[in-house]
Amino acid sequence: MQSNELKHGLKTRHVTMISIGGVIGAGLFIGSGTIIVSAGPGAIFSYIIAGLMIVLIMRMLGEMAVVNPDSGSFSTYAHQAFGPWAGYTIGWLYWFNWVIIIAIETTLLGTMVNDWYPSIPMWAASLSFPILMTITNIYSVKAYGEFEYWLAFMKVTAIVIFLFLGAAMIFGFVPAFESPGLSNISNEGGFFPNGFLPVLLSVIFITFSLSGSEVAAIAAGESENPEKNIIRAINAVVWRLLLFFVGSVTVLVILIPQGANELLKTPYASVFDMAGLPAAGQVMNFVIFISLLSVLNSGLYTSSRMLYSLSKKGDAPKILSRVNKRGIPIWALMASVFFAYVCTTFKFVSPDKLFAFLANSSGGVTMIMYIFIAFSHLYLRKKTEKENPGTLKVKMWLFPYLTYATIAALFIIFAAQAFIDSMRLQFFLTTLLTVLVIGSYFLFYHKRAAIIPEPREQLKKIQ
């Protein structure tokens, strides 16, 4: 009989690059300009605070992943910490969130293709990309890893080139550009031209946009050496996340004058233009296109693995845990593609009502995921220290104090949505969706879970 187990086809370089590339998306290349308009040079502090938050979350997740590398990742850890309802809840919420993200990335890609080639309808272009990415995912996990490696490599290369160019411009090494020094920070209202409140509010928006690093913990479960790979991935995220985000935003703040809102609409392309480089806008559009394609590729991979994990735990139909000869959960992948197509169709049929409702319902899932990770870590760390402390190869810093502080910050950020006009609907719909998912577990799965004993209970009976 064929085993319904995933194959360990990802190499160390795959997992490392997936972890780095997972957080570099269009949100950085475009969204950073919006943050700078709102917070001014203080946006640097916004990115430092949000970046440190993600680093702490990744450290907790990494600690648990080294002890138990699993494709279900934080869903599995929530299950272990608080019972089947917790794993069921965060697993289905996370899967739904990625399906919506796939639909959003698909339509954005279609829009870009339509802009470049008006003869190609946006809907046709949009619907073609999930098919292309499904091919990379369906062949083998190594094919996905290789394809994602090069997509992430191009994004990272673009950031590195930008950082070197920005530094050269700041220190006056670019002949076509006169360095402003620190005048753009000291003039026009100083470091906090709009006060400190926009800096704190920007942290909320940035934290939501930095999701993606957790994909590395899911991918580590299919790597050749899960323990080694997750440690390397965590170390890569810790310093490169801060370097890429904080470093690039610092370059933008120094080089682009305050109040130059037109330049900040496409901040990275604006800096290349200021340096006198030709076709800067087209190059950045290509990088953004690659970023969207990378997120779509990872979305199909991540959603299929989460659905597979839910099925293995009995929280989804059993057919979804079947794998093909190459170790790919084919039915879970196809189910994710199907529902992503349904959501994409809603984007064209009812963008302002039905799709907007779905998008707002999933918008706060990232923060709920982080909260589940932090609470699971708090419980499992104490349990592991008592039962098997030798497995703690990676440890959260200043435990449990930093974990408590992170939990408090996460709750503040999540609750703050209710007081921000643009995020209020997202807060209430995501909260409602979470309540409904928990309710569905106790309505449809709780009784069955009570009948089917946990594996460890079965082991006790055998012993």
List the chain domain ranges: 12-444
Distance CA 207, CA 451 (A): 40
Residues with Cβ < 8 Å from 340, sequence gap 6 or more?
99, 102, 103, 106, 130, 299, 300, 303
Output the pLDDT for position 461. 39
Q: Is 436 helix (H, G, I), strand (E, B) or coil?
A: helix
Confidence (pLDDT) at 449: 56
* 14 touches 150 (CB < 8 A): no
Helix, strand, coil distribution of the chain in percent, nearest 5: 75, 0, 20
pLDDT digit string (tens) for 338-371?
999 999 988 888 888 888 888 888 888 999 999 9
- Prior bond to 226 cis, omega within 30? no
**pLDDT tens-digit readout, 364-417:** 899 999 999 999 999 999 999 999 898 888 889 999 999 999 999 999 999 999
Residues of the chain with pLDDT under 70: 1-3, 22, 446-463
Instruction: Using the CB atoms, write b or e for 298-325: b if 16+ within 10 Å.
Output: bbbbbbbbbbbbbbbbebbeeebbebee
Kindly give, in sequence order, each residue whose CB lies less than 8 Å from that of residue 213, ignoring residues fewer than 6 positions away.
19, 22, 23, 54, 57, 58, 237, 241
Q: Is 276 exposed, middle or buried (0-12, 13-18, 19+ CB in 10 A)?
A: exposed
CATH 1.20.1740.10 holds for 12-444: yes
Tell me the whole-structure pTM to 2 decimals: 0.90
pLDDT for 14 equals 84
Cβ–Cβ < 8 Å for 43, 253: yes
Residue-level pLDDT at 447? 62
Residue partners of 355: CB distance under 8 A and separation at least 6: 103, 343, 346, 347
Q: What's the pLDDT score for residue 3?
A: 58
φ and ψ at 189, to 5 degrees?
100, 0
